Amino acid sequence: MFFKSKAKKAAAVEAKPYHCMAIEQIQSDLDVNIETGLSPSEAERRLTVYGSNEMRGGGRPSAFKILIRQLANLMTLILIAAVAIAFAISDWVEAGVVIGVIVINTSVGFAQEFKAEKTMDSLRKMTSPTSRVLRSGHQVVVPTADLVPGDVIYLESGDVVGADCRLFEVFNLESDEALLTGEALPIAKTTEVFGDPELPLGDRINLSFASTTITKGRGKAVIYATGMTSEVGKIAKKLMETNKTKKTPLQKALDKMSWVLLVIAVICVLVVFGANKFKVTNEVLLYAIGLAIATIPEGLIAVVTLTMSLGVHTMAKKRALVRKLVALESLGSVTNICSDKTGTLTQSKMVLVRAWLPNEGFFRISGLGFEPVGEVTKKQALELPTDTKINFAQTGDGSSEKSKVDNEGTVVVTEANMTEQFRRITQGAALCNMSEIRKDEDTGDWYGIGDPTEIALQVFASKLSMGKPMLTNSDNQWKQICEYPFDSAIKRMSMAVENKITGEKLVFLKGATERVVPCCTARQDGEQVTQVDPDSLQAFLDPQIQEMARDGLRVLSIAFRHMTEDEANSDMSKADREDVEQNMTFLGLVGIYDPPRPESLPSVMECYRAGIQVTMLTGDHPQTAAAIARQVGILQEEEEEEKGAHQAMQLGPLVMTAREFDRMSDEEIDALPELPHVIARCSPDTKVKMIEAMHRRNGIVAMTGDGVNDSPSLKFADVGIAMGITGSDVAKQASEIILTDDNFATIVRAIREGRRVFSNIQRFCCVLVSGNVAELVCLVIGLAFRDSLDETVFPLSPVAILVNNLLTGTPPAMALGVEKAWPTIMDEPPRDPTSGLFTWEVLSDITFYGFTIGLLSIADFWLVMNGFGDGNMGENCNREYSESCNLVFRARGTVFATLTLAILLHGYNCRRLRGPMWNWTMIKRFFENIFLFSGFACGTVLCLLCIYVPGLNTSVLKLKHISWEWGIVIITLLVFLIISEIYKFGKRKLCKPLSVATEEQGRLQRIWTENTLASSTGGLSK
């Protein structure tokens, strides 16, 4: 199933419920005889009709088109115009700086977009290059791309299925469909016909799907869907249809600001011309162009890009790789996280966590993963029935095994004190088992080889030092004689074993309880064996099975018997399996499940603290999904005490199956008080439908996932987050963020970083744009000053305007871009996405601070000229220095110093847009942001150099050194800081909070508070 950029239009196969059709009906429908298959000529004809078994993609976008898209940006176009203007006034430094900004912005954007669209190539890599099919009665190998509907395909262990097909012959066939359905375990296949046309994809076990892998057994099937009509093809089509090209709110805000600034720049030019009665001399033109450049914060895009890039670097160190910079913007607004279960909230490692033995009760097994480290514990011995024997033998050092009873009154089971019945069930778990666990010598990590369920059993036995390697060594000398492998038709496996030391020969049996119980005629009750019929045994076990199932455990049963004398002396491999697996003695139950990650619960609670709802969308069964959801905090058990322990797991409106959710109309979904927190048996379309429902409720959705089945929703969500270790290539390419540690907790850190980045963008936008406003106010009002020739006297020369722009623009803005997050950043609810970058408060801050600095600066010009001077404006002071211009040049030096230092100090103001910045507590933190302090110090030094270096001051910048005027400058700066603190105080008293939690967000934050209090007094609620 290969990809090609331009595929011809193929006829679509009408979607039919092939899982509900008998094989005879399918043969008729597809016009094929499964005994002979298609003829080569018929296969060729169908290939022409249906098209190649390949995905159709749009091809990789050309580099030229991507480059054009990057340059066709309004702010970039304005910067290009600024370059032209800078060249026009021979300001090579300014031109070089702006060109550098354009190159950096375009290069970063080009690289990000060019590598973003590889999803279709990734899908191609997943598919099998060749397949074995039946053509004219002969088995032949053909390219997977040549498969057609009606082909009879052979499947065996290790094969990657080439197309969607209906099974008609299976032998112990199992396939790994985790990447498509989310199932953690391989799926046992059957040929049975099902009656429900709307059966979830994961339950259609008589079908095999393209790109899934056969893990066990063999089978035959007839292909009914190829290419874009297969399940993987539908996903690929969904990916192509998903629109991810729309601009983000940040991009829209920057574009809008660009248009506004462009209009303001034009108006300023006209104002300059008008103030000079449209007598446009060379000096007037230069001033107008300089004022227009001062209007444009040319460093803004560069600082935004750099801030986001630094955020990307920070997140990479925290194990979150950002593929698209815009994801950082959306993270701060995330209101919902839709998470897959398997491998995301859970470890994707089956673990045996509970065992139950008749007459002994429940045992709990600690330890997660494949490492054989953990304890088997049971409630205190006083609660055990009197006929239960725990052998508290004396240990070698004379200490009693009673020391294994801990402070909470639980008994720690060891090889020394376990009962004979527990020893038997442990032996069965280890010996009736074909898996292995090994330790990687390089990394020290443990890994399993074999079936996930058998690995869990082997790890359990190894925790008690009774794993298969221990039992089969020279000290114990157990030997596996004959295996009767697991058969998906009877759902059980048995193993004949022998102990070379004692001569004991046993048969162990394990499997699904409903298939093990009919083989049993007795049960082990401690040291006694009680005869029992299968029906009575099943009734006896049902309450225990239900209790374990309520906790989301997969329940297996283990039984054994001694071989008869005839069996012991015969070749067991020739014995009839039905005879071998009879007259068993039931030993007990074991509960296995895919455990939650230890960090999942605190991470979900941290999401609730931030007002973010977590929703589980999984392909697993409802009971299992609900159990895991409760363990990680997605579902709360507020009424558990009232319902009772057995009713706590009942499914309610917050837990739905995909079928229930898909049947609801959009209107019915929107009418729900709150959306389901768990959806089980989930399909790709269900996930997209849930995201759409959240969008209709004004939600910003982050979707996590690792499989092919997650890729459409990853693409459709506002922020797609893929797993880096277990994730498929498709999921990674469809996402904006990849978690390199597959850790749900990393998402919380990413959201925190996203909030920090966006708040920092608002901070430096306030500095940059308010600095431009200050320059405009000062320079436009300065047009009112005229000399004896009735010519305008500029408060700053054009070159001084540009130098001031360089000193006060990018450096403080870049420093604020790396400002650390304040400790309370996760206590705030998600940012309203409709508020955008320039909220009313940011706009008011820009206007207030800009006008304040501008008015104070031009006031200083007036004070030097008229307040303390004689008001002599000189002649031709805009062109060159003369004695008559001495006062004007000193006034310009004062304005330059005031304007530069005030904007640099304003950078500190913007560290806290509402909180006080110039009290003693914050003054002590003056050096906390070393980059901001460095920018302030360097800016101050350069400002002094501009004022005092001979030639540079009078000839280039057209200003003069100052002396007593520093008093005016310092007083002006103090006045500005006092006005700033008064303004912030007024905002704190009169304005509503920056972000107000909705009712739902408030509920989530209360859950976090309650769990935090519960944790401090004895543990988190489950």
Q: Which residues are catalytic?
A: 340
Nearest of 493, 501, 512 to residue 473 by alpha carbon: 501
Q: Given its phi and psi angles, is residue 111 left (phi above 0), alpha (psi -120 to 50 degrees) or beta? A: alpha
Nearest of 249, 72, 419 to residue 837 by alpha carbon: 249
Burial 851-861 (b: 16+ CB within 10 A, else e): bbbbebbbbbb
Written as six digits, the tokens of 34 are 């499964």
Written as six digits, the tokens of 31 are 């016009």
667 by Cβ neighbours in 10 Å (0-12 / 13-18 / 19+) ranks as: exposed
**Pairing outcome for strands 719-723 and 701-705:** parallel
Angle among Cα 514, 520, 524 to the nearest 5 degrees reads 110
Return the DSSP state at 630: H
Q: Which residue has the tokens 């249809």?
A: 241
Nearest of 158, 157, 167 to residue 218 by alpha carbon: 157
Return the DSSP state at 709: G
698 by Cβ neighbours in 10 Å (0-12 / 13-18 / 19+) ranks as: exposed
Query: What string of DSSP letters covers 746-803?
Result: HHHHHHHHHHHHHHHHHHHHHHHHHHHHHHHHHHHHGGG-B-TTS-B--SS-HHHHHH
Return the DSSP state at 712: H
> Rounded to an integer, what is the distance from CA 171 to the centroid of its chain?
39
Written as six digits, the tokens of 672 are 């729900």
User: Is 332 within 8 Å of 830 (Cβ atoms)?
Assistant: yes
C-alpha distances (whole Å) from 421 to each of 374, 455, 626 are 20, 22, 33
3-class DSSP assignment, residue 843: helix
Query: What string of DSSP letters covers 232-293?
Result: HHHHHHHHHH----SPPHHHHHHHHHHHHHHHHHHHHHHHHHHHTTT---HHHHHHHHHHHH
CA separation for the pair 164, 147 (Å, rounded): 10
